[in-house]
Amino acid sequence: LNRRLAGLGTTIFAEMSALATATGSINLGQGFPDTDGPAEVREAAVRALREGRGNQYPPGPGVPELRQAIAEHQQRFHGLTYDPDTEVLVTAGATEAIAAALLALLEPGDEVIAFEPFYDSYAACIAMAGAVRRPLTLRAPDFRPDLDELRALITPRTRLLLINTPHNPTGLVLTPDELAGIARLAVEHDLLVVTDEVYEHLVFSGGHHPLAALPGMRERTVAISSAGKTFSFTGWKVGWVTAAPELVAAVRTAKQYLTYVSAGPFQYAVAEALRLPDEYFASFRADLRRKRDLLADGLKAAGFRVFNPQGTYFITTDITPLGEKDGLEFCRALPERCGVVAIPNVVFYDNTEAGRSLVRFTFCKQDSVLEEAVARLGRL
């Protein structure tokens, strides 16, 4: 393993899901639903397979039907206009979009500012690009970013802001004011911005506001999303990028040497998913909101300190009230102690002190599973 990847080992998601399987535990660690997405969307994938659409290499930027549907979705939900031919790129999940964007846009030695805790692929991709990460620490209890701290982190080497809202793992959703402050700094310092918006439809109040909609941002923002979370198809790995033509062209250059293309038949199905009626998105969100409350109440009753998320399908907790200090130790022991798996937030920090006692649970599971998990945690 080269020096750039040293220390990046196995992702926490793989480690914890393997532990869940080995111990037969309830897996509230890795974020994937235990109910598949809409039947009609699955049928659309089957139809595409049967009819021979996408069984061979699809076009590099993605099938035209999906690029068109992505552009329509950006218009319908965010009022943003993108040209499906030059401003949309289909990727192998948001994960590839993040990798391709960072590999395409960064020079070795460039600095990237990202909120910590950060989604684990950010650190890996920044490292693979030979760039340097500069974390802006989000602190309990509300995890709001301090924009003065952000300003202070900007140096002449800063090239890019990597923003994630709704934010995994804290559930933070940036407010219009915070977004405006970030946008002003990006314009003032002429920075590129990559926004990871995979949880854009999972905001429980106030809605999701894309950074690209703000003044001066359309031309400098690479927006990333994915079908995995919105439609409960994390295994399909269909994601996308929307950005100005030069930025999409840059990301596509990297993308074509990572996977070239992927997920042919699923691309046709996701095009249909993106056109589902508003009711689908509203009821998906309402259902998850209810699950959030179910898990939050259960965790509180079990003695955890709960930080209520405004978005995503994760709850971050503090285990200090349980007499525990170390989230990593706690999560490694939890399957043996009570048959539940969770994720230690500390692995998403450079400044590990800020995350040592924080632990994340997902609530994208059936009610009966959440209830059983909560009952088990209550016996700790």
Residue 13 binding result from ligand GLN, ligand PMP, none, given CB thresholds of 5 to 8 Å by partner type: ligand GLN
Q: Which two tokens stand for residue 211?
A: 């950074």
The nearest distance, CB 361 to ligand GLN, in angstroms, is 11
Cα 32 to Cα 5, 24, 216, 232, 236, distances in angstroms: 26, 17, 35, 7, 12
Residue 30 binding result from ligand PMP, ligand GLN, none, given CB thresholds of 5 to 8 Å by partner type: ligand GLN
Amino acid letter for position 196:
D
Which residues touch 136 (CB under 8 Å, ≥6 apart)? Answer: 113, 114, 115, 116, 145, 146, 149, 150, 153
Q: Report helix, strand or coil for 348.
A: helix
The nearest distance, CB 155 to ligand PMP, in angstroms, is 25
Going by the DSSP 8-state scheme, the letter that residue 160 receives in this structure is: E
Which C-beta is closer to ligand GLN: that of 63 or that of 359?
359
The nearest distance, CB 17 to ligand GLN, in angstroms, is 7
- Does residue 31 belong to the site contacting ligand GLN (CB under 6 A)? yes
Which C-beta is closer to ligand GLN: that of 11 or that of 86?
11
The nearest distance, CB 47 to ligand GLN, in angstroms, is 28
Cα 241 to Cα 59, 83, 205, 226, distances in angstroms: 15, 12, 25, 9
Which C-beta is closer to ligand GLN: that of 27 or that of 158?
27
Residue 93 binding result from ligand GLN, ligand PMP, none, given CB thresholds of 5 to 8 Å by partner type: ligand PMP
Report how far residue 79's alpha carbon sits from residue 88's, in angstroms, rounded to the nearest whole number: 15
- Does residue 117 belong to the site contacting ligand GLN (CB under 6 A)? no
Residues making contact with ligand PMP (CB under 6 A) = 31, 93-95, 119, 164, 168, 196, 198, 226, 228-229, 234, 237, 239
- Region at 190 (left for phi over 0; alpha for psi -120 to 50; beta for the rest): left
The nearest distance, CB 207 to ligand PMP, in angstroms, is 18
Report how far residue 90's alpha carbon sits from residue 255's, in angstroms, rounded to the nearest whole number: 9
Which C-beta is closer to ligand GLN: that of 58 or that of 327?
327
Count of residues touching ligand GLN (by CB under 6 A): 5
Site for ligand GLN in 309-348 (CB under 6 A): none
The nearest distance, CB 314 to ligand GLN, in angstroms, is 7
- Does residue 13 belong to the site contacting ligand GLN (CB under 6 A)? yes
Report how far residue 15's alpha carbon sits from residue 18's, in angstroms, rounded to the nearest whole number: 5
Which C-beta is closer to ligand PMP: that of 95 or that of 232?
95
Which C-beta is closer to ligand PMP: that of 78 or that of 229?
229
146-175 footprint of ligand GLN as x/- string (CB under 6 A) = ----------------------x-------
Which C-beta is closer to ligand PMP: that of 169 or that of 335?
169
307 forms bridges with which residues in the sheet?
316
Of the candidates 249, 240, 247, 140, the one whose C-alpha atom is nearest the C-alpha of residue 197 is: 240
Report how far residue 147's alpha carbon sits from residue 287's, in angstroms, rounded to the nearest whole number: 33
The nearest distance, CB 351 to ligand GLN, in angstroms, is 20
Cα 92 to Cα 97, 167, 177, distances in angstroms: 7, 21, 32
Of the candidates 265, 174, 255, the one whose C-alpha atom is nearest the C-alpha of residue 222 is: 255
Amino acid letter for position 144:
R
Quick one: CA dihedral 192, 196, 200, 203, positive or negative? negative
The nearest distance, CB 199 to ligand GLN, in angstroms, is 9
Residue 239 binding result from ligand GLN, ligand PMP, none, given CB thresholds of 5 to 8 Å by partner type: ligand PMP
Of the candidates 222, 175, 168, 177, the one whose C-alpha atom is nearest the C-alpha of residue 198 is: 168
- Chain residues binding ligand GLN by CB under 6 A are 11, 13, 30-31, 168
